[in-house]
Structure 1
Amino acid sequence: MAYKYGVGISHLEFWVKDLEESLAFYGKLFPMIGWDALNKTSFSCGLHEIYFKQMPVQLHDSLGVRHICFHAQSREVVERVGEWLRSINGSIIRGPQAMPQYTPEYYTVDFRDPNGFVLEVAYAPDIEL
Structure 2
Amino acid sequence: MKYPYSPGINHIEFWVKDLETSMLFYGELFPMIGWYALNETSFSCGQHEIYFKQMPVEFCDSLGVRHICFHAISREVVDQVGEWLRKQNAAIIRGPQGMPHYSASYYTVDFRDPNGFVLEVAYTPEIKL
Q: How many Å apart are 1:4 and its aligned residue? A: 2.4
Aligned to 1:59: 59
Find the aligned partners of 1:9 and 1:82 in 2 and give their Cα distance: 26
Q: Residue by residue, what CA displacement relative to the aligned partner does 1:66-101 show, whole Å, maximum 9, x if unpaired?
A: 000000000000000000000111110000000000
Aligned to 1:37: 37
Find the aligned partners of 2:31 and 2:40 in 1 and give their Cα distance: 14
After TM superposition, the runs of 4+ consecutive aligned structure 1 residues lying more than 6 A away are none
2:98 maps to a residue whose letter is A
1:59 maps to a residue whose letter is F
Aligned to 2:47: 47
1:118 maps to 2:118: yes
Please, which runs of 5 or more residues in structure 1 have no aligned partner? none
Q: How many Å apart are 1:2 and its aligned residue? A: 3.2
Paired residues, what number? 129
Aligned to 1:86: 86
Find the aligned partners of 1:41 and 1:3 in 2 and give their Cα distance: 28
Find the aligned partners of 2:23 and 2:68 in 1 and give their Cα distance: 17
Please, which runs of 5 or more residues in structure 2 have no aligned partner? none
RMSD over equivalenced CA pairs, Å: 0.7
% identical aligned pairs: 76
Find the aligned partners of 2:2 and 2:33 in 1 and give their Cα distance: 31
Aligned to 1:107: 107
Aligned to 2:71: 71
Find the aligned partners of 1:78 and 1:117 in 2 and give their Cα distance: 18
